[in-house]
Structure 1
């Protein structure tokens, strides 16, 4: 499960436990200026993942790491799709979007949406 926090003008995503190993990452930092929005989306797990590099994908068990699809790189860290959120990022961000499992999807989405600079 990922922990999300806002540190100044930065979205910080910390990957916990063994998921660090599966995702091949322990932390992501994204400037809030590159964050477009966030939504809770348990159905995202059914979307095509693309090519895994590096990461882990065992259908129905875990999707973690960097995946390459037509619209760019997507970072996944999901075991329980019911707790999945999707964070859409700007074109100049390192990923097109982040798909993360969090403890409380509604609270995580609210935290991100409130922190995004007005456009």
Structure 2
């Protein structure tokens, strides 16, 4: 699971990975400039979509999808075990990823936090 935080002063969205998710994703955190965040949605159905080619991480169908994937030229970062808690963060001008698909504790509140942070400019 990822903990999402917004640092308005530094202009960053941070996703920190908890527990074994650090191992599954090969990452402890991602920092994304808020200027690169286009939006976020709660999307439990995303887990049924094809994942693409695993570049680095873990994929056990139906159990966990974590790490870096490429699909149709798109660069994706996954950290999802429970699809009901999955959010999708769309990125623009991103250096590393086009979308982040992350499991969070409260999807609706997290999407609201992200959306409010990017609309305030």
The TM-score by the shorter chain falls in which range? Answer: over 0.9
For the aligned residue pairs, the C-alpha RMSD in angstroms reads 1.2
Aligned to 2:4: 4
Match 2:63 to one of 54, 61, 77: 61
The Cα offsets for residues 3-25 of structure 1, whole Å up to 9 and x where unpaired, read as 00001210000000001001111
Greater than 3 Å deviation, 4+ residue runs: none
Select between 91-100 and 72-81 the one with higher mean Cα deviation.
91-100
Per the TM alignment, residue 118 of structure 1 is displaced from its structure 2 partner at its CA by 5.4
Distance 1:40 1:10 in 2: 20
Distance 1:92 1:39 in 2: 18
Match 2:32 to one of 30, 33, 45: 30
Q: Structure 1 unaligned segments of length 5 or more: list them.
A: none
How many residues align? The count is 119
Q: Structure 2 unaligned segments of length 5 or more: list them.
A: none
TM-score of the superposed pair, with normalisation by structure 1: 0.95
- Find the residue that maps to 2:4 and give its secondary structure: strand
TM-score of the superposed pair, with normalisation by structure 2: 0.94
Per the TM alignment, residue 44 of structure 1 is displaced from its structure 2 partner at its CA by 0.1
- Find the residue that maps to 2:96 and give its secondary structure: coil
Q: Does 1:76 align with 2:78?
A: yes
